[in-house]
Amino acid sequence: MMHMYEVNHQRIKTNGIWMHVAEQGTGPLVLLLHGFPEFWYSWRHQITFLASHGYHAVAPDLRGYGDTDAPLSLSSYTLFHIVGDLIGLLDHFGEEQAFVVGHDWGAVAGWYLSLFRPDRVKGLVSLGVPYSPRSPNSKLVEVIRQTHGDGYYVCQFQKPGRAEMAFARYDYLTVMKKFLLINKTDSLIAPPDMEIIDYLETPSVLPPWITEEELQEYADKFLESGFTGPLNYFRAMELNWELLAPWQGSKVTVPVKFITGDKDYGFESEGAKEYVEGGVFKKFVPNSEVIILDGHHFIHQEKAQQVSDEILSFLHKLSAA
């Protein structure tokens, strides 16, 4: 069990914003990047585990989340801003390179940190979201809308205010339960004229890997910070597509371990399984291995020890190289 006082908290000035980080341990730097809708606390299992094995584990609240600044403009949430924040963290800690572990949107941040600045990344562990090359001709959200329709959660999150209004019909604890405890294995698509938050179920019984108290930590934090910052990551997707044109067709060359749950929503139904197990993923991420665990989207919490062990074995392998 992790004791909160063992984790040090501070706010760091980086890339024009104040960023809150939780850190523990000394040694080589490991950045732990959370996804949606989370904050540093998602890494509570890994941060202590890595610290106890001789690493300096640093889990920031990404911009827009938790106790980190949340710029108002959605154009301040591009991958260039997120990666810029992370470079500022490395500079603050005086580290030329770091190991990076990312989940969900944090995995996306890890992919683009590795793509833009491979000189700063020793290795990347990506959880749940594989690297996907930019489509040369079609904007990402347009492709998603054509493929999945307007009921798909990414499409519903595009219009400023829409998802926030829908979420507001529920208390924060219920919203957290609906997202963090998703056990659907198909794509997250709401029926016509229904909001995704209404479509997601609220489990009556919690799974064994999370407690009511832990879920309340999330609820309390989002009550303070709201959902607009986190949703702006989705709203900047079109802008990302426009800005990423210079990297068209480029590869991620750093060593990568990709870990996902076999029941992660959309893993099988959206073709991710064939993609990561086939040759295409390897073409874009040549120095990669793929680990598929028995589990869902929030695999680093559901299978905390297994994921921690996979991260550690990867760090050890790279340190020995």
Catalytic residue numbers read 104, 297
- Rg of the chain over Cα atoms, rounded to whole angstroms, equals 18
Element (H, E) at 85: helix 79-92
E-only strand ranges, 187-261: 256-261
Q: How many CB atoms lie within 10 A of CB 50?
A: 27
DSSP category for residue 190: P
| Residue 48 near residue 33 (C-beta atoms within 8 A) | no
DSSP helix/strand/coil, 302:
helix
The type of residue at 29 is L
Nearest to 2 by CA among 51, 38, 39, 37: 51
Q: Which amino acid is at 209?
A: W
* HSE (side-chain half, CA atoms, 13 Å) at 52: 11
Instruction: Return left, alpha or beta for 128; rule: phi > 0 is left, psi -120 to 50 is alpha, else beta.
Output: left
Amino acid 70 reads A
HEC sequence for 243-268:
HCHHHCCCCCCCCEEEEEECCCCCCC
